[in-house]
Amino acid sequence: MKKLGRVFLVGAGPGDPELLTMKAVRMLGLAQVVVYDRLVSDEVLSLVPSAARRIAVGKAPKSHPVPQERINDILVELGQQGLCVVRLKGGDPSIFGRGSEEAAALHAAGIPVEIAPGITAAQGVAAATGVPLTHRGLATGVRYVTGHCRRDLPLDLDWAGLADPDTTLVVYMGVANIAEIATSLIAHGMPAALPVMAVCNATTPKEVRLLSQLDRIAAEAKAARLEGPVLFVIGEVVSLYRSCPAEVLSLFPAELADVSQGPFNWLRASANA
C-alpha cells in the first residue's frame, strides 16, 4: 500500500513575512507542493522552496474559480499521492479561513493534518497602526465578524449584539457591504460618531489607512477606492491612533526598512534549508 502523505495548514499572516511563526517557516521548507490563497503575499511566497510545485486556488469577491469543495479534493488527492503538502492561507487558517473544513475533509480521508497558526489580520493591523484591540476604559472585549456571507447571500448578523460601544468590532471582508454594516449598527444603537479605521493591504509596503467615523465610513471608503483586502476596526480604541513620524522610522537600521534584505534572509535560508 502506498504511504499517505501529510498536509500542513499554515497561516501566512497578513502579509509581512516577519510575522510568520518559526513553525510555519519550518513547514514551508518541507513542502513538495504548496496550495495557496490569493491573499498570501509575494514576500511570503518567496519563501517556498524552488523545487516545490505551486497550485493557486485563490478566491476573490464574487469570483470563486476553484470552489471550496474542489480545494478539499485537491488536498486529499495530493495527500493520497504520498506528498508533503502545505496549504498556505492568509492570516490564520482557523479565523474565516475555512481551514477547519479542509482539515475535516483530510481527516475523513485518513490523511494526517497539522496546523501552524498565523497572525490574523486584526492583530497585524493593531501592531502596524498602534491601535489596540482592547484598552482599559475604552473596550472590554473584541469581536471578529465577517462582512460577507457564503455564496454572497445577504448578511444575517446579530446587529443588536454587535452594536456594543464597549466592544471593539473588527470586520473582515466587509468593503462591499460596509454601508449596510454601518447603517445596521447605528440603527441598533451604536453612536454615529464612533471612530472607525479602515486598513487596506495591512502590514505590506502597499498598506493604506483611512480614519473616519461610523456614519461616514461607507462614503469615504468608496471615495478612497481601496484596492486589496480591507479590514475595518470600529470602536473607541481607534481614537488612540497615532501615525508614526518619519523621524522615528529613521532610527531603525537601514536593513529593517528593506523588505528584500536584512531580517528576511534568515527566513529564506530556513525555508530552503
Is position 226 within any domain?
yes
Total domain count for the chain?
Answer: 2
Known catalytic residue: 59? yes
**Burial level of 49, CB count in 10 A (0-12/13-18/19+)?**
middle
Known catalytic residue: 1? no
Task: Determine the pLDDT at residue 270.
Answer: 52
**Burial level of 225, CB count in 10 A (0-12/13-18/19+)?**
exposed
Cell 508614526 belongs to which residue?
244
Is position 43 within any domain?
yes
Task: Determine the pLDDT at residue 156.
Answer: 84
Known catalytic residue: 22? no
**What gap in Å lies between CA 5 and CA 79, rounded to an integer?**
4
Sign (positive/negative) of CA torsion 206, 212, 218, 222? negative
**Which residues constitute the domain of residue 64?**
6-119+259-271
**What gap in Å lies between CA 141 and CA 20, rounded to an integer?**
25
Residues 162 and 114 in one domain: no
Contact 15, 60 (CB under 8 A): no
Residues 153 and 213 in one domain: yes
Contact 117, 97 (CB under 8 A): no
**pTM (predicted TM-score):** 0.85
Q: 16, 92, 164, 173: which one is catalytic?
A: 173
Contact 86, 93 (CB under 8 A): no
Task: Determine the pLDDT at residue 256.
Answer: 41
Residues 148 and 54 in one domain: no
Neighbours of 172 (CB within 10 A): 20
Residues 15 and 107 in one domain: yes
Is position 104 within any domain?
yes
Contact 72, 24 (CB under 8 A): no
pLDDT mean values, one per 10 residues, the chain (273 residues): 88 95 96 95 94 88 78 97 97 93 97 97 95 96 87 80 96 94 96 96 92 96 92 97 54 43 46 55
CATH code for position 201: 3.30.950.10
Is position 245 within any domain?
no
Task: Determine the pLDDT at residue 126.
Answer: 96
Residues 26 and 109 in one domain: yes
243 in helix, strand or coil?
Answer: coil
For residue 70, the 8-state DSSP code is H
Residues 115 and 129 in one domain: no
Q: 16, 37, 92, 164: which one is catalytic?
A: 37
